[in-house]
Structure 1
Amino acid sequence: MTSPAPSISDADRAAVTAQLGRAPRAVREVAHRCPCGLPSVVATSPRLEDGTPFPTLFYLTCSRLASKLGTLEADGRMREMTERLRTDPELAAAYQRAHEAYLAERDAIEPLGTDVSAGGMPGRVKCLHVHAGHALARGRGINPFGDEALDEVGEWWAAGPCVHVDRPGDETATRD
């Protein structure tokens, strides 16, 4: 059974399209807004429109934040984080709880019949974008690696919006 999908405004859809450089897929709603007011994370349906499973519940859209997280990934942070899972039982337990919360929330929308969540949870860290999106959408203390990555990138929004929507309700936007 699928829960009804919330909606996303035309202006938010235009901003997300500009942020991603393509039309978003399976978007249910804006899950977090950047301090500049634009969407930074969207919640997605567990399946794409054609029925294909899409296990990433929280999709990071802010192109500036995505770039900063990509730099952390290139610097080897995921490998370091995964190694810490092996040596820090409290961190591993917190990460397991993040995995369980992610699955429970996704399955409440539509069960996919799998215990695969996203971003490598719970055994490894393979996508900081997923973890940061989860942390932004659900707040600090839910996903330890999302919190850590966000702390490390700092105030990504300080330079202003990553895209510019021409006017409220307009379906066009430009990337910065």
Structure 2
Amino acid sequence: MTTAPAPDAAALPPLPFESPATAEDLAAMREQLGRDMRGVVSIARRCGCGRPAVVRTRPRLEDGTPFPTSLYLTLPWLTLDISRIEATGRMAELTERLGEDAELAAGYARAHERYIARRDEVGRAEEVASVSAGGMPTRVKCLHALAGQALAEGPGVNPVADEILAGIPGVLPELVCRCASAEDEADAAGTEGATA
């Protein structure tokens, strides 16, 4: 498989939805993840209600740890929906298709190169310099990481993620807010667990 040349980080257009991360965003991500988010650069995409959906992080965390996942999905309802898709075995199916569909494989390889070039905009960690996320460029390992890239960059950058996100109601063309219903679902699960 021949991959396209790596995009020049200086030539990439700005992330279309990127905005500064505020103290409120850091608190919201702590609530979303149950821990502090480290290495935060910005919010790469927001939910329709304004909460962080994808956070952009540095390739090296404050403690020196290399961190290749620079576009990190934090939105609980979408993380849950994607986990449900992963549980169906979809990743193995997509990996198989990469070996059979040259156009899909080429697009996925370009997404890998773009991921690295985009991460290089905010720093470099040599230990992960050639590693992108989600199994790119040859397999599908984590749909959450791929969705983070697609939501941050917009459609047409990662064909595997675009396909997955197209099947989730409320994601495309705009990321609608389902935060209240996700909180209700989590509360109900907690209540059921408490009574079980």
The TM-score normalised by the length of structure 2 is: 0.77
**Corresponding residue for 2:156?**
141
What does 1:1-176 align with in structure 2 at a 5 Å threshold?
Answer: 7-113=20-126, 114-155=129-170, 157=176, 159-161=178-180, 162=182
In the alignment, the residues of structure 1 paired with residue 177 and residue 69 of structure 2 have an alpha-carbon distance, to the nearest angstrom, of 27
C-alpha deviation, 1:130, in angstroms: 0.4
**Corresponding residue for 1:167?**
none
3-state SS in 1 of match to 2:53 = strand
3-state SS in 1 of match to 2:121 = helix
3-state SS in 2 of match to 1:142 = coil
In the alignment, the residues of structure 2 paired with residue 143 and residue 77 of structure 1 have an alpha-carbon distance, to the nearest angstrom, of 16
Structure 1: gaps spanning 5 or more residues: 1-5, 164-174
In our comparison, the structure showing a higher alpha carbon Rg is 2
C-alpha deviation, 1:158, in angstroms: 5.1
More strand by share: 1
- Residue 68 of structure 2 contacts residue 133 of structure 2 at CA under 8 Å; is this kept in 1? yes
Identity of aligned residues (%): 52
Q: 1:158 to 1:105 in 2, by over 3 A?
A: closer
Number of residue pairs the alignment of both structures matches: 161
**Corresponding residue for 1:171?**
none
C-alpha deviation, 1:55, in angstroms: 0.3
3-state SS in 2 of match to 1:28 = strand
C-alpha deviation, 1:108, in angstroms: 2.4
* Structure 1 vs Structure 2 CA RMSD: 1.9
Structure 2: gaps spanning 5 or more residues: 1-18, 188-196
In the alignment, the residues of structure 1 paired with residue 151 and residue 85 of structure 2 have an alpha-carbon distance, to the nearest angstrom, of 17
In the alignment, the residues of structure 2 paired with residue 160 and residue 23 of structure 1 have an alpha-carbon distance, to the nearest angstrom, of 19
